[in-house]
Amino acid sequence: MLHKTQGIVLRPVKYGDTSLVVTIFTEQFGIQAYMVKGVRVTGATRNRASYFQPGTLLDMVVYMQHGKNMQLIREYHAAYIYTSVHESVTKNSILMFSAELMLRLLPEHAPLPDLFTAASKYLISLDTADPRHVANYPLWFLALCSRLLGYDPRGSYGPATPYLDREYGGFSAHPPAYPPYTTTEDAFALHQVLLANDHDAIQGIAINSEMRSRLIDWYIAFLQQYTQHLGNIRSLPVLRSVLH
């Protein structure tokens, strides 16, 4: 059966001489794998493979056969054309990190329309934002995905709970006994991030690069407690290098 849906490309993998197997986070069906034939040929159609780069937002008409691990796409075109993401090293690194995070964190075949809508708005905001003000975006996206998947840190920041403890799963009265180690300043910064309800708010939070790196490590370790397949984020070292 044919369905119209939007999608966010998460990972393309070469298949054969001319095709791709593409993992896409779809609005209607969650994460699905699609066979896309003939997009890696030379000549006039060679640019079709560019539609399937990580982070691309698509409007699609897809075949959906329940019980099959591989689906097919009948039609596709860009739902949004990026104007600055691919020209900015910082923005592109954030885009790759965000796409990999969704690939590794989200459950397969589970519709998550609220998260899809939020992720689409986030990626468009990343594209339109001033590149000098996007350093907090990866941390904010970690918190956004966590919240919409139901994995909120326990408690809240305050005089009685000024620490972050991954073993406890949130804000604690005691400093962490195990890594990743964080400071009370880190806990307050994360508190501000969790209160930020839009992209403008996250841009105004003052977090230095060392603090940001510790908080990203803390949030990834926090999420690893809830999903066995998250694993290591391969794009994280590149992200660190550009968010200095």
Structure token digits, residue 224: 């690893």
The pLDDT tens digits for 24-81 are 999 999 999 999 988 877 665 556 888 999 999 999 999 988 878 899 999 999 999 9
pTM of the model: 0.93
Please count the CA atoms within 13 angstroms of the CA of 144 that sit on its side-chain side. 25
Per-residue pLDDT of the chain (244 residues; tens, 9 = 90+): 899 999 999 999 998 888 899 999 999 999 999 999 888 776 655 568 889 999 999 999 999 888 788 999 999 999 999 999 999 999 999 999 999 999 999 998 999 999 999 999 999 999 999 999 999 999 999 999 999 999 999 999 999 999 999 999 999 999 998 888 999 999 999 999 999 988 888 988 999 999 999 999 999 999 998 887 788 899 999 999 998 7
SS3 state of residue 85: helix
DSSP-assigned beta bridge partners for residue 35: 21, 72
- Which domains does the chain show, CATH number per domain? 1-81 (2.40.50.140), 85-244 (1.20.1440.120)
